[in-house]
Amino acid sequence: MPVIGSTGSGKPGPMTLPILYSFRRCPYAMRARLSLLMRGVAVELREVVLRAKPAAMLEVSPKATVPVLVLPDQRVLDESLDIMRWATAESGAADWMSPDDAMLVADTDGAFKHHLDRFKYADRYPADAVDHRAEATRFMQRLDGRLDRRPMLDGDRLSMADIAILPFVRQFAETDRGYFDALPLPALQRWLATFLGSPLFGRAMTRFAPWQDGDAPVVFPADMSENC
């Protein structure tokens, strides 16, 4: 995909890279960036400040959440899994997700995320955070069992299922690192530690200044020749 720059406006002009609106710490946006890195697909990245979302992003995606990918033909993808699927197709790769993997990701986005939110943001919900922590832990026990005899969820290599789930396990672990580290889940803890120490995660978490209209384009990944 050629790098030809941006019009500098909220919408991409002809022959531009796709535009990705992202927020560094959002696990859904992490998914999008990780998939772009894994698939070797370049975009123009626009870092968003959540308390001051740019009008250009809100114009193309009124749901006002990240990530948002605006394609050169003006199509808009504003669900993280759709962006991951697009990156896979754009790269020509055939390995998306098996039905079992897709179900595991759906359970992550559904029940696990429900309990994670009520544990992480306990002050926002009239519920017992400890109970929700316990329910989330049961899901992680399921992941640990799957990882017990293989390094990654789908075998020996990092897959789309891994990068769809890892940012949320990371979010749980960082909510109470002492609790997470004390859990008898060695395979899951090894899996997360491997991910957090990887060059892939380091590149995905590169800091960028918040985007403003008129800024020079920021190409992500910056060096497409570098091995992730």
Rounded to the nearest 10 degrees, what angle do helices 186-196 and 160-175 cross at?
100
The per-residue pLDDT of the chain, averaged, comes to: 91
Percent of the chain scored above 90 by pLDDT? Answer: 86
Statement: 19-94+205-220 belongs to CATH 3.40.30.10: yes
In the chain, which residues fall in CATH 1.20.1050.10?
99-201
For residue 16, what pLDDT band results from cuts at 50, 70 and 90?
Answer: confident
Residues of the chain with CATH 3.40.30.10: 19-94+205-220
CATH fit for domain 99-201, picks 2.170.190.11, 1.20.1050.10, 3.10.20.30, 1.10.10.60: 1.20.1050.10
Tens digits of residue pLDDT in 107-124 = 999 999 999 999 999 888
pLDDT at position 223 is 61
Q: State how far the Cα of 146 lies from the Cα of 59, in Å rounded to an integer.
A: 42
Whether cis (ω within 30° of 0) applies to the bond prior to 72 is no
Higher pLDDT, 130 or 11: 130
pLDDT of residue 11 exceeding 60, the answer is no
Angstrom CA distances, 10 to 2, 43, 98, 218, stand at 20, 14, 36, 14
Q: Tens digit of pLDDT for each residue in 120-169?
A: 998 888 779 999 999 999 999 999 999 999 999 999 999 999 999 999 99
pLDDT tens for each residue of 164-191: 999 999 999 999 999 999 999 999 999 9
What's the pTM? 0.90
